[in-house]
Each structure stands twice: as C-alpha cells, then as structure tokens.
Structure 1
Amino acid sequence: MTGTAAIQTQVSPHGERPAPPLATPPAPAGVPVVDLDPFSDETLTDPYPLHEALREAGPVAWLPHYGVYAVARYDEVVHVLQNHEIFVSGRGVGLSDYQKEKPWRPPSLLLEADPPQHAQARKVATSVFNPKTMRQIREEFQDTANRMVDELFAEGSTVEIDGVAELAAAYPLSVFPDFIGLSESGRENLLPYGNMAFNAFGPQNHLYDRAMETGGQAAPWIVEQCVVGTPKPGRFGATLHEKAAEAGLDEDESARLLRSFLTAGVDTTVHGIGAALRELAENPEQWAALRQDPSKARAAFDETVRYVAPVQTFFRTVNEDTEVSGVHLPEGSKILMFLAAANRDPRHWKDPDTFDISRQASGHVGFGFGIHSCVGQIMARLEGECLLGALARKVASIEVVGEARLQLNNTLRGWDSLPLRLTAA
C-alpha cells in the first residue's frame, strides 16, 4: 500500500490515541529522585526550577511521575545524543516505547528511525535540503521579510502588533509553504498538526487531548500534501519525491519523509522567532547591538535557541544495558533529555542565564546533536536571520506593551501571543 491510503489507515481525522503507558517501575537504588512533573502546567510555564534541581541532583536523575531517567547537564545530554546505537530513536522519541506500544502514527523516517533506515532517509533529505539550496532561496526569503516589515508601517511610524501572529508566525507561514510547494488553501493546518505531533511526545494529559482534537482535524490535509505528485513541480517537495524514488524509497516512505518537514518545519521556527522578539525587547542593549550591526541577526537567533530552547526535551530508549556517568541504565529504560537545561548548564556555559547575542552559542543542543540533529535547522536559521535582520534595519525600538501569553506544549516552549510596540527608525 502506498501514498495517502497507507498513512490514513493509521492517522484518524481526530488523531489516534496510543496505548496507555506501562506500569511505572520503582525508583532505582542510588539514583537521585526529583519528584517534580516535567509535563505539569506549572512546570511548563516555569521550567527553570526543575532544570536547576535536575542539574544539581546529579548527572542522572529519576522522575517518579513517569518512571524514566533524566539527564539535564550538558555533557550527559550530548553523550546520549551522540551514542545513537545505545540510545535509540526508532523505539520512539517520546514517552512511548514503540517496541511495546503501537505508534500513534507511522513513525518519522528521520526523527523516529535508526540506521540504516535513518541514514538512507537523511541522505535523500540532505541531497535537496542543504546550504546550497539555502543560498539559492536567500534573496527570495530576505525580500519577503523586508516587505513584511515595511508593510507594518504603512500607516505610521509607530505600530502595536501581536509579534507572534503578525511576525513570528506570519513569516514562516509565508515562505515555508511556498518553498515546499504546498497548495495555497489549507496552510492554516500546519501549526495545529505540528502542535499535535510535539504534544504526542509527552504523556496523555489534557494538552495531548486538546492537541489531538485540533491537530487530528488537520491531519488529512497534511497527508494529502505529502502524496507523490501533489507538491508543485520544481519546489522542494516534488524534488524530494524524485530523489527518494531514485534512492529506492516507495511512495509511502517518500510521503513519510516529506511529512517530517511539514511536522517540524514551522512550529519550532515560529517559537524561535517569537522568543527572539521577546528577548530583544526585554534586553534593549541587545537590540541596540543588533541595530548597530544587523549582520548579527543569525547570531541573535542562535543565542535565542540556546537561551530559550524552543524544543525543550526529547526522549531516547536504552537499547542495551549501559552506564551514564557511572549510573547503570537497563535495556528498555526511557531517558528524558532536557535540552533546555543543558543549554544553560553553568558547567559548560559562562553566565548561562544571560541573553547575549555576542556569545559564541555554537555547540548548543537546541537543534539536537549527532546523526539526529535537526535537518531543518539551516532553514530555521535562515528565516530567523532574514526577519531579525529586516527588523534591525527598519525598527529603532521594540517594546513589550502587554501580557505575553505562553502556548503550553509537552515538548515545545513558545509564545501564543506577544503584544509589541515597534517604532520605525
């Protein structure tokens, strides 16, 4: 079975609820216990006390709410990410173990696969999605960003906007679908579907249920856009299908490969840009530095990904008995990596709780690390650079003028609304 039919059999219009988690195992002897729920509304709203508690507890901790191990220090997070043969992704990068529980949708060939399947899919993806491609589209993306910023000031030199709706979301939702070659109608489904996918990596809580309802309604459109022959000729989606066929992938595999980009290609960038706008508004000296040198726009976006970490956490499954920093982890264990905590680990970073666009932020784990590092990070960086650069050249000041509203998600951190006042230069 190929194409739409193969995917639709496993993704219902309202999303398919995975099997209930297995019984929570007892805390392992000698492993520090941190009795906080990383997926509670309270923790998702303010995760930093948990991050510090985990880092201070030890190199590995135990989370009794879900019966999983946790790593929050930089070195241990990188260790887990680098050792992909022991800490596998093919058994699921969420709370569920796909070896024991049915996946809620056909797994991603990039995110939820191990070599050799992962290597083949990534080779196909990077043959099309690479720095050369980004150079080819840079001018188009920059022109769109410049035009979008100019249009904000069509009726005056000072404007009040929702920085998420009118910039952080509006820009990626303009350039990304065109790049992929998606149909003009239905693009509003991208964000609900991505929100659903990232919520599904966590527990079956109220955030999961709500996301499954709205995202499940978006799923048929996503499935349709991924079918071979649907993306516009000459655009990324169509070219990806061509390369996938040349590599021997069938049409279902090719559709699942494209789906990986539609799942993760928008939400994370929206949250990254939104976070950058807020941090630059809250740190006027950093905005002044960017204004003085707009070429720092990419560095500003990268520092935002380190400082805020739009992708907060990811799971791996221990595929064989092993140790991390002297702590024994048995086969079948789930280990939760706190990427955001690692990005502020004082053992690795100087002044980690300071937002500084002059920092050398390379090496952060906000886009992952190793063979599973985010393929789309080059586009996220391009979009962040183009929009922040356009703003720096046009806007003298940026201020938060109301209460920003978080969008709670089991995996992501970002703003649902961000009231801003922009004053033109």
Structure 2
Amino acid sequence: MATIAESAVALDIDPFDPAFLADPFAAHPALRDAGAVVWLPAIGCFAMARHAEVQAALKDHTTFVSGRGVGLADFATEEPWRPPSLLLEADPPLHDRTRTLMNRVASLGALRKVMPQWQAKADALVDSLLGSGPFDAVPALAEAFPLAVFPDLIGLREQGREALIPYATVAFNAFGPRNALLAETMEAAAGATAWVAQSCKREMLTPGGWGMQVYEAADRGECTQDEAERLVRSFLTAGVDTTVNGIATLIHAFAQFPDEWQRLRAQPGLAKKAIEESLRWGGTVQTFFRTTAREVEVAGVQIPEGAKVLLFLAAANRDPRKWQEPDRFDIDRTASGHVGFGFGIHQCLGQMVARMEAEAVVQALLPRVAEIRATAPATRRLNNTLHAIGTLPVELIPA
C-alpha cells in the first residue's frame, strides 16, 4: 500500500496526537491545502479534508464502506472491541433493514409529541441558572438537559443514567487507535459500560419508550431479539455525548460571538439557522473512517481496495472552497450541505433529536438572557473522535 500511496502527498501529521486533538482546526488548512487526498504515515491511511471529496465519499457507500468499521480498525482483519453497530457499522442490505425499523421508531412525529415537555424542562433549567453568577455550562446545562429528557424518551431506568456520558466517551475514543486516551477512558468507564449493557435488555426498559418499541418490532419479525438489544445500544451510544457537546458548542459560540446572540434576540426566527451554523462551525464530530471495497481513483490518487480512509468532517465544514469566511460563526449563513451529521445513507439517525434538544435550549434562553458572558476560557476534553468541551465557565445575564 505504501507504494500506491506515493501518488498522494504524505503529511507528517498524527490526527490522534494529544496536541492535534486539543486544537484540530489549526492543522486543517494543511490537510486541505496539501491535496484532495493525502497520505498519513503516522497511522498508515489515506485522508480527505476538503468538503467536495468528503461529501462524495460519504455518499458513495458502495465504494467507501462502513461495514468494515468506521474507526481505524478493519473488521475484516481485526476483532471489534464490541459487536458492531447494526446502523453505523453496517452496509446494505442489513443497514437498510435496520435503518427502516429505527426510522419508524425515531420519527419526527414522536419527537413533536414530547417537545412541549422538553421545552418546559429547558425553561425550568434556564430559570434555575439565571442570576446565579458564573457556572460551568457543561455539567449545569449541556449535560443536565439531555440527561433530563433523552433517557425518558428511550425508557431507561432512573438510577445510573449519568453512566451514559462516560460510556459514550469510550465508544467515540474507540474509533481511533488503541492509544493511552482509549485505555484511560475504558478503565474509568468500566462500571458505566456494564450499566449500559444491562440497560439495553428488554426487562430493563419501560413500556412505550423507544427501546421497548424496538423489541416490539422484533416480536413482529422485523429483527431478531439479539439485534433489538444491539439497536437499543446504538441509541445509548450516540444519543447523549454528541448532543452534550453540541449544546456546549452552541453556548460557547454565542459567548465568543456576542453580536450573534444579539442578532438572534432581535431576529428569533433565525434560531434553526443558528443551530445549523453551530453544527457546521463547531466540529463536534471531527472524523470518521471508511474502508475501500474496491480500488478507486480520487483526484488523481489511486486508493487500493481494503484501504482505510480518514474523513475529516470538521475540516470539510470549514473548507474555504465551500464556505466564505468559514472560521466565522454567522447565524445568517446558509449552512445546508454541512457534514456535521455525516451524509448519505449513514447520516446520523438521531440528528432530529439533537436539533430539537438544541432548539429547546435556545428557546429557553432567548426571552430570558440578554448576554451569554464567558467568565474564563473554555477547556477541552480530549477525545479521538469528538472535539469535546471539558469546562465552559459562563454567566447568564438576565434580560
């Protein structure tokens, strides 16, 4: 593969080095400018960071497959650390069957029914934070709100729900190499992983929730009982940590760009555009891998069959070939076409959950908060896949 890789520019960049993970945006221009396809010797794989090529690879699911793993490990040659996801790490026809089932459960209509309850909880949470002085918006808001609404949607037991965050941290770290970061989080989350495994079982779920609805689909023969358990786990893997970081990133953006908050208060109809711009600008999900099912040429570079290709989603979302002034957070921007939730058949199943949770938070803040003021610099929590915010000291100035 190294010989074939000579047709691509080699870059001395390790995307899983702690310094890179702390500030990936600093290295993205070099990745984009070196070529449409580059070779990363540090991890022995190809990479794409421009919007056009990333979006095209995500769309071409027959060439750039997911069933061999969307992390660095190739499931054709390596044993996965857990049974592969029947959605994220599956190709058609298996993917189509399970996705159709899950789309019926996680429907927009079902979300609209719970939105009034979510809005009431967001309103109460923001009320409790107003006038309280500086606080850390990660645990107090970005974690507190999803943990207040998402577990009820799935039908999880009350005790131990906080395990969802450390478990998801491990899951997203596992898409990278077997590095110290993964080892540390796996050890720290051993109890959380056990809690999640137990919580996916039918007897642990409450009637009416999305989890039980998946098992009822199994009763109708739409999947097996074992597949139902794995599909419930997919909800729990991707349903909290990404949303936590998405909400934290949105708050962080408005603290960094206070004029945009004032613009949104003057034009509340821009709320949905503001959320989309945050998804484009914030880069919560930085990367995912694909594996080539055949030899393919991309922009003059020959990529052999069985090659891992790292897709830099966040770099694509700030590609100046696609966006004007891409590093600026602009709530009036038309951000459609961003790949923050992926693209194509593997586009994030829970994207509407994430959008509606963010919308509930924004609608709670708008009439109550005159300014979202940073009281200290934000810190980062390193993750092999996510650009996660560790702490976010802010103060909400009442309207």
Mark yes or no: TM-score above 0.5.
yes
C-alpha contact (below 8 Å) 2:4/2:304 kept by paired residues: no
Query: Residue 37 of structure 2: which of 55, 60, 68 is its match?
Result: 60
Query: Which residue is 1:71 aligned to?
Result: 48
Matched with 1:170 is 144
Match of 2:22 in 1: 45
Partner of 2:398: 424
Using the TM superposition, give the Cα deviation of residue 26 of structure 1 relative to its aligned residue in structure 2, in angstroms. Answer: 5.9
% identical aligned pairs: 49
What's the secondary structure of 2:310's corresponding residue?
strand
Aligned position for 2:230 = 256
Per-residue deviation at 1:54? Answer: 1.0
1:324 has 2:298 as partner: yes
Alpha-carbon distance between aligned partners in 2 of 1:368 and 1:284, rounded to the nearest angstrom: 29
Measured in 2, the distance between the counterparts of 1:293 and 1:159 equals 27
* C-alpha distance 186-331 of structure 1, shift in aligned 2 (>3 A): same
Give SS of 1:310's match: coil
2:173 aligned with 1:199: yes
- Indicate the residue corresponding to 1:17 in structure 2: none
Q: 1:111 aligns with which of 49, 68, 88?
A: 88
Give the aligned partner of residue 12 of structure 1. Answer: none
1:360-408 C-alpha deviation (Å, 9 max, x unpaired): 1111000000000000000000000110121111111111101321010
More moved, 337-346 vs 220-229: 220-229
Question: Considering only aligned residues, what root-mean-square deviation do their CA atoms show, in Å?
Answer: 1.3
Which residue in the other structure is 2:63 paired with? 86
- Confirm or deny: 8 A CA contact 1:232 1:238 kept in the other structure: yes
Partner amino acid, structure 1, of 2:196: I
* Residue of structure 2 in register with 1:16 after alignment: none
Q: 1:206 to 1:72 in 2, by over 3 A?
A: same
Runs of 4+ off more than 4 Å: 24-27
- Which residues of 2 match residues 9-408 of structure 1 at below 5 A? 25=2, 28-153=5-130, 157=131, 159-408=133-382
Contact 1:27 1:64 in 2 (8 A): no
Letter in 2 for 1:328: Q
Aligned-partner Cα distance in 1 for 2:149–2:204: 18
Task: Give the deviation of 1:292 after TM superposition.
Answer: 1.8
Is 1:412 aligned with 2:386? yes
Deviations 1:266-305 (A, max 9, x none): 0101101101101101111101012223333322221111
Q: Which stretch of structure 1 is more off in the superposition, 193-202 or 285-294?
A: 285-294
What residue identity is the alignment partner of 2:19?
A: E
Structure 2 CA distance for aligned equivalents of residues 251 and 31 of structure 1: 46
Assess if the C-alpha contact under 8 Å between 2:292 and 2:309 holds in 1. yes
Q: Which moved more, 1:83-92 or 1:216-225?
A: 216-225
Q: Is the 8 A contact 1:27 1:33 kept in 2?
A: no
Task: Indicate the SS of the match to 2:6.
Answer: coil
Distance, in Å, in 2 between the alignment partners of 1:208 and 1:158 is 36
Report the CA distance shift for 1:26/1:405 in structure 2 as closer, same or farther (over 3 A). farther
* Contact persistence 1:295–1:389 (CA under 8 A): no
Offset, 1:248: 3.2
Contact 1:229 1:238 survives alignment (8 Å): no
User: Residue 8 of structure 1 aligns with which residue?
Assistant: none
Match of 2:356, SS? Answer: helix
Q: TM-score, normalised by structure 2?
A: 0.97
TM-score (norm 1): 0.92
Following superposition, the deviation at residue 160 of structure 1 comes to 1.3
Contact (CA 8 Å) 2:55, 2:343: kept in 1 or not? yes
Matching residue's letter, 1:423:
I
What displacement does 1:97 show? 0.2
Q: What is the DSSP-based 3-state SS (H/G/I as helix, E as strand, rest coil) of the residue aligned with 2:389?
A: strand
Q: Is the 8 A contact 1:303 1:359 kept in 2?
A: yes
1:11 paired residue number: none
The number of equivalent residue pairs is 399
Compute the displacement of 1:76 (Å).
Answer: 0.3
Deviation at 1:353, TM superposition (A): 1.1
Amino acid at match of 1:29: E
Cα separation, 2, equivalents of 1:412 and 1:247? 36
Change (3 A) 1:376 1:362: same
How much has 1:224 moved relative to structure 2?
Answer: 1.2
Decide which moves more: 40-49 or 25-34: 25-34
Give distance in 2, aligned partners of 1:128 and 1:251.
16
Deviates most, 214-223 or 102-111? 214-223
Distance 1:401 1:195, change over 3 A: same
Structure-1 separation of matches of 2:221 and 2:125? 39
Aligned mates of 2:26, 2:397 — CA distance in 1: 35
Q: Tell me by how many angstroms 1:240 deviates.
A: 2.0
Q: Once the 2 structures are TM-superposed, how far is the Cα of residue 169 of structure 1 from its aligned partner?
A: 0.7
8 Å Cα contact 2:32-2:319 kept in structure 1: yes
CA contact under 8 A between 2:246 and 2:279: conserved in structure 1? yes
Letter in 1 for 2:144: A
Distance 1:196 1:414 in 2: 13
Contact persistence 2:101–2:222 (CA under 8 A):
no
Question: Partners of 1:49 and 1:397 in 2: how far apart?
Answer: 29
Distance in 2 between the 1:384 and 1:196 partners? 23
Q: Give the aligned residue type for 2:143.
A: A
Mapped partners of 1:286, 1:129: distance in 2: 32
Structure 1 residue ranges without an equivalent (≥5) = 1-23
